[in-house]
Every structure is written in C-alpha cells, then in structure tokens.
C-alpha cells in the first residue's frame, strides 16, 4: 500500500515485495501521503520521525 500511496517516497522490490524507502526525508508536500501510507501499512512497520 505504501508504494501506491506515496510513490515518490516508497517503492516495492519486484522479487520479494519488500518495501524500499527511496526518499528518507520527504518533501513537505509528500508528508500527507506518507502519513496515509503509514496508517495503511498492514504490518505497522512504518513510522514517521520528525527532525
């Protein structure tokens, strides 16, 4: 779900399906999509860390 919800920040490995973070410091305009992706993550493995 995260790669579909925030494709500028997350991708998915084509071989094993694991999520790949492609932008560890998302732009302000991506934060809403990242927050939604975190909420939709079925495993609960994602967190947004503020700096």
Average pLDDT over residues 25-32: 91
Question: Contact 27/20 with Cβ under 8 angstroms?
Answer: no
Average pLDDT over residues 8-35: 92
Rounded mean pLDDT of the chain? 89
| pLDDT of 11 above 80 | yes
Indicate the pTM of the whole model.
0.81
**E strand or H helix that includes residue 21:** strand 19-21
Instruction: Give the C-alpha separation, 37 to 10, whole Å.
Output: 9
Confidence band for 51, pLDDT divided at 50, 70 and 90: low
């Amino acid at each position: 779900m995260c790669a579909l919800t925030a494709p500028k920040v997350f991708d998915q490995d084509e071989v094993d399906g694991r999520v790949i973070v492609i932008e560890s410091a998302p732009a302000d305009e991506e934060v809403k999509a990242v927050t939604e992706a975190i909420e939709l993550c079925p495993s609960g493995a994602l967190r947004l860390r503020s700096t």
